Amino acid sequence: MRRLIFGLTCREVSDFLLEYLEGDLAERERRAFRRHLFWCRACVAYVESYRKTVELARAAGREEIPELVEPVP
């Protein structure tokens, strides 16, 4: 569903999502992104689930892999 709320569609919010979370959006785009989130509860839920997914993926990548007791055949 493409909804236009304050200059950004829901699709555009998903396109800019990683840049938003990384803090890489220009001020103008960041303001438009936040305005959209103010009115669109569906995108808020999507952003939060995406943020959690990124956190979990990064945490999983930091874990040390234990030495195997026996070599894998």
pLDDT tens sequence across 14-36: 888 889 999 998 888 888 889 89
Contact present, 35 and 6 (Cβ < 8 Å): yes
Taking CA 13 as the corner, what is the angle to CA 9 and CA 16, rounded to the nearest 5 degrees?
135
Give the model's pLDDT for residue 1. Answer: 43
**E strands, the chain, in order:** 4-5, 8-9
Q: What is the mean pLDDT of residues 53-69?
A: 75
